[in-house]
Chain A
Amino acid sequence: MNIHEGAPALSVAGLRKTYGETRAVDGIDLVVARGEVVALLGSNGAGKSTTIDMVVGLARPDAGEIAVFGASAHEAVRRGMVGVMPQEGALLDDVTVRETVALIASLHRTPLPVEEVLSRAGVADLADRRAALLSGGQKQRVRFAMALVSGPDLLVLDEPTAAMDVAARREFWQSMHAFAETGRTVLFSTHYLEEAEAYADRVVLMHAGRVVADGPVSAVMAEVGALGLEDAFLRLTGASEAV
């Protein structure tokens, strides 16, 4: 199962990516140990999605090293060790939920049973519905099932709850929590402070393509002497002057 025994789930060093004049990611170092649940927090344009795209092999870094379980992102994806829910990425309208998940399963060498994945992602009752008839939140849960189906050791979720209402969001985090309880690693990005506070062991705060704070939620807050993550966030990203 593990490519390199003992290698961290994710190890990133000196990561950079420039789009035209914009330095989307401007030198990031990050190590995620196995079993950690890490929130990548930041406002729009902080570089979260670009970082995640590079970590999972969807985008090529201009500079820097990425190792997923000690291997390249591509290799880890190919072996089904990483389950990914990218921010953009959609379902085929004419295909049912079960067919979609079964297809992804058929592409992996050792997938989990499709029915089990459907129920773990909370979409078992939607299995025969075509994607065209799903709500935004339901589609996200199907995509969560697609990320789960290879039985990954690391889940990478890019703003997983962006399209969900409050109830769907709560339900989603319950499934997520169940996954993390089995000792797996999770890296998720969000701009909801309360999600990071409630579900992550550790928060990595990004601003303008850099990591400005990294540690347990309590430590990040203590570091800036703030009362809540929101204050810490505003202070660290230099937005406090504007408020």
Chain B
Amino acid sequence: MTGYLTFEIRRTLRDAKFLLFAVALPVGLYLLMADRFIDQGAPASYVMGGVAAFGAMKAALDVGARTAVERGIGWQRQLRLTPLSGSGYLLAKASVAMVVALPPVAGVSLVAGLVSGVHLSAAGWAAAVLGVWAGTVPFALLGLLIGQFATAQNLQAYQGAVVLVLSFIGGLFIPVSTFPQALAVVAKVLPSYWLAQVGHATALGGGADSWQAALVLALYALVLGAAVVVRYRRDTARA
């Protein structure tokens, strides 16, 4: 499996356009939003937490979902004729998603620190970056799940809808406290709400009490991981 993982990481890291976009989109969003929110009295670090979570989440989802293309052209089929196991393939893809999820968090944090003067202790920065990054695991798996359902043709539509719902209703951009009651209830069901909790809390220098969010995200990771494996098995048995 390490052979395949190395291959996939090298392949992803030389896809400069994809990586650049993965970092540039959240950084750009941060710069746009930080201005407006700070005018309204919100701390820049609050914006940083939400947007970093968005960047990591979207990058992880994208990597997983792009497996739909490989599945469509028959690359997965080709791999099944090698000793690489299905779980080895899926694990490698999830790992790559996690690798790609780190630069957006780091990028947004860096810009927030340099441009908006967000101040955190060294431990605080580590908690902010690594906390959001670790919380991205369920989204890497959700991306894989989408990739094992979608086709290359309808992938964009699926992916767009999922990112939109998760980021807006999950409260990555707009505080859930401003939502109508019913929508706030829906928000708390979404994994992105809990990722936002981690992002906001750690960015504000706290986060020690994020255990509830960590628990929900871990549960999501378990369920989504199981769903990916079941779906992969069904998909390959059908052939």
Report A's interface with B, CB cutoff 8 A: 53, 56-60, 77-80, 82, 84, 86, 88-92, 94-95, 99, 103-104, 106-109, 143, 146-147, 150
Q: Are B4 and A89 within 8 A (Cβ)?
A: no
Contacts A106-B7, A107-B4; is A89 near B78 (CB within 8 Å)? yes
Contacts A89-B77, A90-B73; is A60 near B83 (CB within 8 Å)? no
Using CB atoms, name the residue of chain B closest to A83.
B81
Contacts A60-B237, A92-B70; is A108 near B75 (CB within 8 Å)? no
B223 surroundings in chain A (CB, below 8 A): none
Number of inter-chain CB pairs below 8 Å = 61
Q: In whole angstroms, how far apart are the Cα atoms of A108 and B81 in the complex?
A: 11
Contacts A86-B74, A90-B73; is A57 near B11 (CB within 8 Å)? no
B32 within 8 A of A: no
Using CB atoms, name the residue of chain A closest to B72.
A90
Contacts A89-B74, A94-B15, A103-B4; is A56 near B83 (CB within 8 Å)? no
Contact among A58, A94, A104, A106 with B239 in the assembled complex (CB-CB below 8 Å): A58
Using CB atoms, name the residue of chain B closest to A156.
B81
B188 within 8 A of A: no
A91 surroundings in chain B (CB, below 8 A): 75
Contacts A58-B239, A106-B7, A107-B3; is A84 near B81 (CB within 8 Å)? yes
Label chain A's interface by main secondary structure.
loop
Supplied contacts A77-B81, A77-B82, 14 more A-B pairs, CB within 8 Å? A57-B80, A58-B77, A58-B80, A59-B239, A86-B78, A89-B77, A89-B81, A90-B73, A92-B11, A99-B7, A103-B4, A106-B3, A109-B83, A147-B81
B74 surroundings in chain A (CB, below 8 A): 86, 88-90
For residue B15, give the distance in angstroms from its CB to the closest CB of chain A: 7
For residue B70, give the distance in angstroms from its CB to the closest CB of chain A: 7
Q: Are B239 and A53 within 8 A (Cβ)?
A: yes
B84 within 8 A of A: yes
Q: Are B83 and A77 within 8 A (Cβ)?
A: yes
Q: Are B237 and A89 within 8 A (Cβ)?
A: no
Contact with A along B9-50 (1 / 0, CB 8 A): 001000100000000000000000000000000000000000
Q: In whole angstroms, how far apart are the Cα atoms of A60 and B80 in the complex?
A: 13
Contact among B73, B81, B83, B84 with A58 in the assembled complex (CB-CB below 8 Å): B81
A150 surroundings in chain B (CB, below 8 A): 82
Using CB atoms, name the residue of chain A closest to B85.
A78
Q: Are A90 and B75 within 8 A (Cβ)?
A: yes
Q: Are A107 and B77 within 8 A (Cβ)?
A: no
Q: Are B81 and A94 within 8 A (Cβ)?
A: no
Most buried by A among B7, B74, B78: B78
Using CB atoms, name the residue of chain B closest to A90.
B73
Q: Are B239 and A90 within 8 A (Cβ)?
A: no
A84 surroundings in chain B (CB, below 8 A): 81
Using CB atoms, name the residue of chain A closest to B82.
A107
B239 surroundings in chain A (CB, below 8 A): 53, 58-59
Contact among B7, B78, B82 with A90 in the assembled complex (CB-CB below 8 Å): B78
Q: Are B83 and A95 within 8 A (Cβ)?
A: no
Using CB atoms, name the residue of chain A closest to B73.
A90
For residue B109, give the distance in angstroms from its CB to the closest CB of chain A: 30
For residue A185, give the distance in angstroms from its CB to the closest CB of chain B: 16
Contacts A94-B15, A103-B3, A103-B7; is A88 near B77 (CB within 8 Å)? yes
A143 surroundings in chain B (CB, below 8 A): 78
Q: Are A92 and B75 within 8 A (Cβ)?
A: yes
Contact with A along B201-230 (1 / 0, CB 8 A): 000000000000000000000000000000
Q: Are B15 and A89 within 8 A (Cβ)?
A: no
Q: Are A86 and B77 within 8 A (Cβ)?
A: yes
Using CB atoms, name the residue of chain A closest to B79.
A107
Q: In whole angstroms, how far apart are the Cα atoms of A95 and B4 in the complex?
A: 13
Q: In whole angstroms, how far apart are the Cα atoms of A92 and B73 in the complex?
A: 9
Contacts A95-B11, A106-B3; is A56 near B73 (CB within 8 Å)? no
Using CB atoms, name the residue of chain B closest to A105.
B3
Q: In whole angstroms, how far apart are the Cα atoms of A107 and B79 in the complex?
A: 9
Q: In whole angstroms, how far apart are the Cα atoms of A99 and B4 in the complex?
A: 11
Q: In whole angstroms, how far apart are the Cα atoms of A56 and B79 in the complex?
A: 12
Using CB atoms, name the residue of chain B closest to A147.
B81
Using CB atoms, name the residue of chain B closest to A88.
B74
Contacts A53-B239, A86-B78, A95-B11; is A107 near B84 (CB within 8 Å)? yes
